[in-house]
Structure 1
Amino acid sequence: MPASAVTLTVPGPHGDRSVRISSPTREIWPEAGITKLELAEYLMAVGEAFVAANGDRPISLQRFPAGVEGEQFYSKNPPKGAPDWVRAVPVTYPSGRSHPQLVIDEPAAAVWAAQMNTVVFHPWASRAGSSDFPDQLRIDLDPQPGTGFAEAVEPAFTLREILDEAGLTAFVKTSGNRGIHVFAPIEPQHEFLDVRHAVIAAARELERRMPEQVTTAWWKEERGERLFVDFNQANRDRTMAGAYSPRALPWASVSCPLEWSELASADPRELTIRTVPDRLAERGDPWAAMHDHPGRIDVLLDWWQRDLADGLGELPFPPDFPKMPGEPTRVQPSRAKQRD
């Protein structure tokens, strides 16, 4: 008879924690045959790098009670029954509401989240103690239909050059699917709206240099087969899968940090729960020194002001956000023409 539960001993900064994993043989990724216990063991194996990348941040848990082929939901409030050593901090959302959100401070907290059927971890761009002020500038290069990971590689390198010109050091990871995430550490001195504007300034510069390959068009009907620079991922309460987070894809891929020298030859489908621990043990964490020398977004904000003076204004916000100052109409262009 299969074991109904196992208890893992998870080392951490405060000593060993005992974390119970119920239904350890239940398959979370049926196609790959990866179980709940394997997920928990993966998070133990990458625990130090996982916490370095995602810890001390408000985090949302994307949970799959019946595995990645079943229903899912997000937990922002700490789930009931959270151990007393799992922390939460109050955060403010675009609506103005505020409530506690989970924080992961040690590998055992990530393993406990796996016990709660968490597959994808979505950390904020800001720290728990200063959640209104991001310390990461994040840019999501999102392939559109007809494009894929290969088409995102060259724009990622060009974006790296742009950020370098702005005084920022870029780090890269796979999204775990077709996209590429480019991060830059920044001093936490600006609110989310300013950081969004810095991202838009960088995105527009990338679009100028690669107009046939890259677009900032919010409406899908205007993008074509170009890479979309998803500037809205820079908004408050907008997150992407964290570094070393598993993804809810059949092959159990991981959003994996890379050295820039690896990017052109990387295959995201090969970076999985089963391969990343050995890779990390052999090569180390490419993001280990990310926050040693944070930069400033002043140059990008100057570019934003320059573009405003040239008539390039605010871009649309997500539909659940309140109407923002200077924002264009939230009407799909084809529908706007029909109204005319």
Structure 2
Amino acid sequence: MKQVRRVAPKAVEEAAGQVKNKSSVIAGISLSHPERILFKEQGVTKRDLAVYMEQASGHMLPYLKDRLVSLVRCPQGRAKQCFFQRHGSAGMPQQFHRLDVHQKKGGEGEYLYIRDTAGLVAAAQIGVLELHIWGSRVDDIERPNRLVFDLDPDPTVGFEKVREAAVHMHDVLEAHGLASFPLLTGGKGIHVVCPLVRRYRWPTVKAFAKALAEHMVEDDPGRYVATMSKAKRKGRIFIDYFRNERGASAIAPFSPRARKGAPLAWPVDWDELGSIDAADVFRLGGSDPQAVSAWESYGSRQGLKAATLRALDIEAD
């Protein structure tokens, strides 16, 4: 049984490696206002976040590198004004790379992506508290190589029901020959993630995700819903398959969240999930990414099968 070690909470600076050097330069990035508090309750500073990004980068980059990213920025900290940014703008660090992407409404939009540790630390420098990633990489943005189901519970639904839903989704995917991996979102829910070989374009992958979500709803309509209508979600778990389309994004593994308690989006294994009692138990200052052994087989090659698509009446693109 693989283990994911959740270390006891302690000062962020200690958890980041008992940093003694008060330098404001991390991974070659000069931090302005390094002592600025980003999470007041935990006393997490910009320097603390930058140190975390540096130490987590070896684990985070395999899932985030060369994917277009959307950012939640809170330059003055979580408790102050935050904003969502997906396009490049003046003053962005040079460690952010840019890609012109044709948009649905016409024209080109300049999107951002990160390639290395310096890019992650630069994100901390500009107050990025969340990194959300596309399901495709920049060398072929039209063909996704990951599938994501966001299990988003109504507030009345306990986390044990979300765990059960994740295992149910795992079993449905396994029946179609797909291994999957659970990600605690750092919020209320769980993402079930499948790596894919890049064979089909976005419409095909989304149609497959929709078919699986609707199948689960048909099997248990009292537990699941697959529509965005909040009125229909009461007492149910929303199976959000809409993240599997061009331009959509999902929280990156190991990303911080701009939420109370400084939680992290954290990958676990299926045998570990049963011992987890909330989606936000891993926190900045109390969780060591270098102790993680989850998702070791994530890179295994697998894809949607033509026979499966035909059986679901999905036209491959």
| TM-score (norm. length: structure 2) | 0.86
Q: 1:217 to 1:82 in 2, by over 3 A?
A: closer
The answer to whether the aligner puts 1:143 opposite 2:153 as a matched pair is: yes
Partner of residue 7, structure 1: 24
CA distance in 2, matches of 1:85, 1:59: 13
Q: CA deviation at 1:214?
A: 1.2
Partner of residue 279, structure 2: 268
- Is the partner of 2:41 in helix, strand or coil? coil
Q: Is the Cα contact below 8 Å between 1:253 and 1:270 reproduced in 2? A: yes
What code does the residue aligned with 1:7 have?
Answer: S
Partner of residue 301, structure 1: 309
The answer to whether the aligner puts 1:174 opposite 2:192 as a matched pair is: no
Deviations 1:129-185 (A, max 9, x none): 101111001111010131143221111101111111111110110111111001111
Deviations 1:189-241 (A, max 9, x none): 22222111111111122223333211113322222201010122222211121
Quick one: which of 288, 291, 297 aligns to 2:299? 291
Q: 1:297 to 1:175 in 2, by over 3 A?
A: farther
Q: Is the Cα contact below 8 Å between 1:32 and 1:250 reproduced in 2? A: no
The answer to whether the aligner puts 1:165 opposite 2:175 as a matched pair is: yes
CA distance in 1, matches of 2:63, 2:303: 17
CA distance in 1, matches of 2:290, 2:236: 36
Q: 1:33 to 1:83 in 2, by over 3 A?
A: closer
Partner of residue 281, structure 1: 290
- Is the partner of 2:243 in helix, strand or coil? helix
What code does the residue aligned with 1:128 have?
Answer: V
Deviations 1:83-107 (A, max 9, x none): 5454222223332332221111111
Q: Is the Cα contact below 8 Å between 2:95 and 2:114 reproduced in 1? A: no
CA distance in 2, matches of 1:64, 1:299: 46
Partner of residue 330, structure 1: none
CA distance in 2, matches of 1:210, 1:23: 52
Quick one: which of 243, 250, 255 aligns to 1:245? 255
Larger RCO of the pair (alpha carbons < 8 Å, separation 6+): 2
Alignment of 1:163-242 (within 5 A): 163-242=173-252
Q: Is the Cα contact below 8 Å between 1:39 and 1:114 reproduced in 2? A: yes
Q: Is the Cα contact below 8 Å between 1:149 and 1:180 reproduced in 2? A: no
Q: CA deviation at 1:298?
A: 3.5
Q: 1:197 to 1:9 in 2, by over 3 A?
A: same
> Unpaired segments of 5 or more residues in structure 2?
1-21
CA distance in 1, matches of 2:25, 2:66: 23
Q: CA deviation at 1:283?
A: 3.5
CA distance in 1, matches of 2:156, 2:120: 36
Q: 1:42 to 1:103 in 2, by over 3 A?
A: same
Partner of residue 65, structure 2: 55
Q: Percent identity?
A: 26
CA distance in 1, matches of 2:150, 2:181: 12
Of the two, which has the highest radius of gyration? 1
* Richer in helix (by share): 1
Quick one: which of 99, 117, 120 aligns to 1:107? 117
| TM-score (norm. length: structure 1) | 0.80
Q: Is the Cα contact below 8 Å between 2:143 and 2:201 reproduced in 1? A: yes
What code does the residue aligned with 1:259 have?
Answer: D
Q: Is the Cα contact below 8 Å between 2:26 and 2:51 reproduced in 1? A: no
What code does the residue aligned with 2:295 have?
Answer: W
> Unpaired segments of 5 or more residues in structure 1?
11-17, 309-340
CA distance in 1, matches of 2:126, 2:60: 18
What code does the residue aligned with 1:302 have?
Answer: R
